[in-house]
Structure 1
Amino acid sequence: MDPLFKLNTCLTNPDLSGQQKLEMVCATVHKLIPGADRVSLWLFNESKSQVSSLICFDATSKSWCDQITLRREDFGIYFDAILNREFVDAPDAATHPDTKCFNESYFTPLNIQSLLDYILHRNFEPQGILCCESVGRQVHWSEEDKQTLKKIARSCSFFFNLSTN
């Protein structure tokens, strides 16, 4: 079965919990996007002054990570980039102008080298972020990777009310 069709079926299944749907999104992204060693979904607060992780899957350790919150006052350049452009593609995350703000507190401790993010919407307004991170190596995300992430993010935005989890 096509993984995107399977994901859409999962997202519309009323018998699955919100947690199960989040886990399916992470598993699908990891499966379809080479180099996506960590996959996470994030939810903005109402004022877009912070974003909190709903779920994070680390394929390198095969574990689910603790939830964290990032504040705009600490990472304003990234917040501006993702909210204005809807996409952040940082193959060298440590030097990329939109993501280097994460080096000390996030990238270095977790050995994250590359990042690919796409915004999640609800009613055409930014609601959250779907995030891919590579661990221990740089990844130059292909156009196909970007389009796949965009499709998955749109499916999540269309079918999944993130604020209910």
Structure 2
Amino acid sequence: MHDTNLLKNLFTMVGEGKLDRPKFFQMLVRVAAQETGSSRASVWFYDGDLKDHVVCESLYDVGDNQWSSGTTLSEDDFPSYFDAMRDQHMIVAADARAHPATSCFNEGYFEPLNIYSLLDVGIAVNDVQLGLVCCEQTAHVKEWSQADVQYLQQVAAMVGLALKKFGG
């Protein structure tokens, strides 16, 4: 079972003004990676009028204990992924390299980064899709549990609430 108290504590710290947006997202993705036992976790937001790009707000890599941000992915390059996120608001891909919605990432993303599994959950506020929370497993396939999915849904909901506190 995943510890949701860590999420609650982060949200409390945001409400008390103890965390700014960048620090909140850094802490959130680290907690998401730890709680799901994944190698990497990240938060991405849609960009453009058509929401045809996602931009990484914060990515935490457990292997090197480093954060990064700013990577942009385009629907032009990964149409099946964007279609799946738009239609289903979630992708559970234990074997991401063979999954129909994520195999488009193989050559340019999965193979260079040694990623085998992916779990993405959409972030929505008032039924408007704003982005997604992503967990990835490197080096081997990870079977995502229902608890992992539910936890990442809670993380996505927390992001939506935090965005309201940060003013969008």
Using structure 1 for the length normalisation, give the TM-score.
Answer: 0.92
Code of the residue aligned with 1:33 in structure 2: it is: T
Structure 2 unmatched ranges of 5 or more = none
Deviation sequence 1:43-75 (CA, Å, 0-9, x none): 101311111111111001111135211110111
Partner Cα separation in structure 2 for residue 162 and residue 131 of structure 1? 22
Residues paired across the two proteins, number: 164
1:41 aligns with 2:37: no
Aligned partner of 2:76 in structure 1 is: 73
Structure 1 unmatched ranges of 5 or more = none
Between 6-15 and 115-124, report the one with greater CA deviation.
6-15
Partner Cα separation in structure 2 for residue 3 and residue 133 of structure 1? 20
Code of the residue aligned with 1:13 in structure 2: it is: E
> Is the Cα contact below 8 Å between 1:114 and 1:135 reproduced in 2?
yes
Give the ranges of 4+ consecutive aligned residues of structure 1 lying more than 4 Å apart after TM superposition: 161-165
Aligned identity (percent) is 31
| Match for residue 21 of structure 2 among 15, 18, 25 | 18
> Is the Cα contact below 8 Å between 1:43 and 1:54 reproduced in 2?
yes
Between 127-136 and 5-14, report the one with greater CA deviation.
5-14
Partner Cα separation in structure 2 for residue 11 and residue 160 of structure 1? 10
CA deviation after TM superposition for structure 1 residue 28, in Å: 1.6
CA deviation after TM superposition for structure 1 residue 164, in Å: 6.4
Code of the residue aligned with 1:37 in structure 2: it is: S
Change (3 A) 1:163 1:10: closer
Change (3 A) 1:150 1:129: same
CA deviation after TM superposition for structure 1 residue 162, in Å: 9.7
Cα-Cα RMSD: 1.9
Residue 39 of structure 1 aligns to a residue in which SS? strand
Aligned partner of 1:61 in structure 2 is: 64
CA deviation after TM superposition for structure 1 residue 31, in Å: 2.0
Aligned partner of 1:159 in structure 2 is: 162
Partner Cα separation in structure 2 for residue 162 and residue 128 of structure 1? 17
